[in-house]
Amino acid sequence: MTALLATEHLTIRFGGVVAVDDVTFSVATGELRCLIGPNGAGKSTLFKCLTGQIKPSVGRVLWRGRDITGLDSFKIARLGIGIKTQVPSLFDGLTVLESVRLALRRQARERDARAQAMATLERLGIVELAPRIVALLAHGQRQLVELAMVVAPEPELIILDEPTAGMSAEETSRAARVIRSLNDKHAIIVVEHDMQFIRAIAKTVTVLHQGRVLVEDDVMRVLADRRVQDVYLGKVDASLQVTT
């Protein structure tokens, strides 16, 4: 398995604060990786760095071995990386179909692009939303629309920042199913908080704490790890207890 996206000794400092501290990790082709950690662990900062919105102070980001540190967001997207932000970032004035069609940047032929867009909406179970204006959609629907935009161009790697934020239980299960099926074709990095969701989809989990990698292991072992439970003090719920 080849390393698709990797970081080497990534450190990000703001003023006096070290938000990300010497993080080295890598995600292989086809892998599904969850990135978890309590508030302030550095997940969002790491996400922003991987997606070209912030430049690191020290260290490198590599795509298939190629140094992509500091590249602009649009160049990173062009490498074949789909990015979904925590707060849905959408084209409010456009329709759902138009938005997804725009995501198919490389597809020049209009009819094919629309067909592909509709197929993507189909895949995510929101094809009935196609003619609706994005601004008028409910929050959970907006998350799914953004997911559709991310997935449509068939990126090799998808990075999702808290994809289920604000979703209902039903929408969360649907999202879990979608992401698991997406994993058949794409590598995925999910930055998440929601433990139920993690348990439903995770295979390998990287835990961040105070900017550093605390533990990186199989999900069951991570959730049973005392240290992880400690850092999540107060956030741990009964579902984390693994029965042996």
Partner 1 sequence: MSGMKLSTDIAAASIVTIAAILALPNFLELFALINATVYVSMSVLALSLALVWGFGGILCFGQAAFFGLGGYSYAVAALNFGDTTYAVPVAIVVPALVAAALGYVMFYGRISDVYMGAITLTLTLILFNFVNSTAGDQWRIGAAPLGGFNGIPSTPPLNLPGDPGNPLPPQSIFTISVVSLLLCYIIAKLILRTRFGRVIVAIRENEHRAELLGYDARAYKLGIFVIGGAMAGLSGMLFANCVFVSPTMFSLFYSGQIIIWVMVGGLGTLAGPVVGAILLNLLTTWAGTLPDISPSLILGVILLLAVLILPRGVLPSLAVLFGHERGVT
* Residues engaged in binding partner 1 (CB under 8 A): 51, 72-74, 77-78, 83, 85, 89-94, 98-99, 102-103, 105, 108, 133, 149, 153
Q: How far is the CB of 166 from partner 1 (least distance, A)?
A: 18
User: Considering the complex, what minimum distance in angstroms separates the CB of residue 16 from partner 1?
Assistant: 26
Contacts of 217 (CB under 8 A, 6+ apart): 204, 205, 225
Residue of 53, 85, 33, 82 whose CA lies nearest to 213: 33
Instruction: Extract the tokens encoding 224.
Output: 């049973």
Q: How far is the CB of 105 from partner 1 (least distance, A)?
A: 5
Residue closer to partner 1, measured from CB, 133 or 200: 133
Among residues 48 and 174, whose Cβ is nearest to partner 1? 48
Tally the C-alpha atoms within 13 A of residue 108's C-alpha that lie toward its C-beta: 0
Give whichever of 11 and 143 is closer to partner 1, judged by the CB atom: 143
Two tokens, residue 111: 């009819």
Gyration radius from the chain CA atoms: 18
Minimum CB distance to partner 1, residue 86 (Å): 13
Nearest by Cα to 150 from 86, 193, 200: 86
Amino acid at the residue 22: D
Closest to partner 1 by CB, 119 or 135 = 135
